[in-house]
Amino acid sequence: MTARLIDGKAHAEALRARIATDVAALKASHGVVPGLAVVLVGEDPASQVYVRTKGHQTLDVGMASFEHKLAADTSEADLLALIARLNADPAVHGILVQLPLPGQLTPNTVILAIDPDKDVDGLHPVNAGRLAQAAPGDPLDFPVSCTPLGCLMLLQDTLPSLRGLDAIVIGRSVLVGKPVAQLLLREDCTVTMAHSRSRDLAALCRRADIVVAAVGRPGMVGGDWIKPGATVIDVGINRVALPDGKTRLVGDVDFAAALEVAGAITPVPGGVGPMTVACLLHNTVRAAWKRVGAK
């Protein structure tokens, strides 16, 4: 058996096309252009690439993009003052502060300062609480953390229904594992949350119809951990060295082995990654619609 590839790039492209239509409808009906403000502190090269990608994709779907590049030694007071201005700016519907932040800045303090309705990264405790309280059938009418939302969308596009399926989420971070588990619970999955202290992870995994791996350990999930026909979402992004001195990105799943057993699987790269930025745009246009009191 060879698993079906879940093409994250194609799914993200389709999502961006739907967002562009939604943006155009908002402009036509209310004269509102959704605006995303991205704040980058310092010059981390990876963060600069992410911010550039976000900026281009924001403009491509017809939204306004506001980039704020601050010096690496920016004080917390100055950053909080900028966030207060963005909170008050009617042209800004979404605010994203690119993480990680330089050491003098406390991520939790910064995230707490963002208006929860503009927190398009879905990291504010108010939005984490809204997700924790969302019952099956409740609308997700608040920003949900982008990578977990991307995982959910890929699963919904891959499987006819998630109801009653056994799911395992490996990893319990606030950024990925916990929100993924909560989203799947809301979809009526029976969810096992595994972590570094879980016993016999392989056996837990083999019971699951859905495996979401969000660990950060290259190839940890072996092919013999996968139940035949299961759907595998590999969130991990790990850079590994090759014998020729080059490097390449791999996920947390032994892709070649899992491909032989799973029913469907995301590749790394090209799986969950592209969905993350698309979901950021999704959250921004949703925030803009919410502001005008529609949809």
Helices marked H in the chain — which ranges? Answer: 8-30, 45-60, 76-88, 107-113, 125-133, 146-158, 177-186, 201-206, 255-259, 272-291
70 vs 220, beta carbon nearer ligand NDP: 220
> Taking CB under 6 A as the rule, does residue 216 contact ligand NDP?
yes
CA distance 131 to 152: 13
CA 225, CA 200: separation in Å to the nearest integer?
A: 10
* Residue 279 engages ligand NDP in binding (rule: CB under 6 A): no
Task: Compare residues 146 and 285 and give the one whose CB is closer to ligand NDP.
Answer: 146
- Sole window of 39-47, 98-106, 161-169, 189-197 interacting with ligand NDP (rule: CB under 6 A): 189-197
192 near ligand NDP, judged by CB under 6 A: no
Q: Does residue 65 touch ligand NDP according to CB under 6 A? A: no
Residue 266 C-beta: closest distance to ligand NDP, Å: 9
How many CB atoms are closer than 10 A to CB 205? 23
DSSP state of 229: T
Window 139-168: residues binding ligand NDP (CB under 6 A): 147
Active site members: 54, 98, 121
Whole-number Å distance between alpha carbons of 18 and 279: 11
153 contacts 137 by C-beta, under 8 angstroms: no
Q: Please give the full DSSP string across 167-219, using - where no structure is assigned.
A: EEEE---TTTHHHHHHHHHHTT-EEEEE-TT-S-HHHHHHT-SEEEE-S--TT
Interface region with ligand NDP, contact rule CB under 6 A, candidates 28-36, 89-97, 132-140, 173-181:
173-181
> Does residue 239 bind ligand NDP (CB under 6 A)?
no
Contact pick of 36, 170, 204, 261 for ligand NDP (by CB under 6 A): 170
Q: Of 92 and 185, which CB lies nearer to ligand NDP in the complex structure?
A: 185
Give the residues lining the site for ligand NDP (CB under 6 A). 147, 170-173, 175-177, 194-198, 201, 214-217, 235-238, 272-273, 276
